[in-house]
Chain A
């Protein structure tokens, strides 16, 4: 289990290798990568500013990761979330899960992403031509949590 909150970019391939290095018991690695889209609600997005709550962010991500590890048979998990100013096309978040079987790896990765979106203290501000605009939380993100209860 490992969580990083950083401004630097990450290398998905290197993270997969690091998860499975030195072991031969892993049957499946699932990764999810979130990117900055260049359009939202019909408006052109140049960049995205990600603010977070240092201290609480790490705790919230570690708690989500620990919960996933109690619910599914996981051999390794990795969460990386970036903050600061990110250009469109940039990587924002990585979730990787390793398990003997793909079912657990897929479900756990989705669970971590669903909780991370509305329970980890990050806030996105989109940079548009008209200036910065805070992204509103979506009801769909809150609804996504209910299926795991």
Chain B
């Protein structure tokens, strides 16, 4: 990593942490985000009742298994890769690598960000038809990695969701 990359990463991290404390500024920043503006928005239909629907969770909060490679915090443009989180993963085997927001509360109770335990409960009680394999990204992704996300890693995850016959996906951000 060059000194310039290091500086960008540090500034990006500080900016992300600052946005956590300054939502109005974050909203202003959001107005500059136009990655897919003007493109049609797809809409699939959920055809079966919830009690029969297999759900999967996808988060962009930087969650991963302790045994997995952490997300890359050295690349100031982010990390478009993903981590596979099996549905039966014990929560104490999970951690968060994401320098761009304050995740101290999520580390106390992961359900506020990645509700794996609650979704397992809903499946056990028959409220949902089941919980499939879940996935995690690190949400701070800038060009050129946005292209990798859209063209490669997100389609890979979508393909696995379809292969596992997942009926619906709940996505949660950082």
Please determine whether chains A and B interact with each other in the same assembly.
no
Q: Which residues of A pack against B, CB within 8 Å?
A: none
Q: Which residues of B pack against A, CB within 8 Å?
A: none
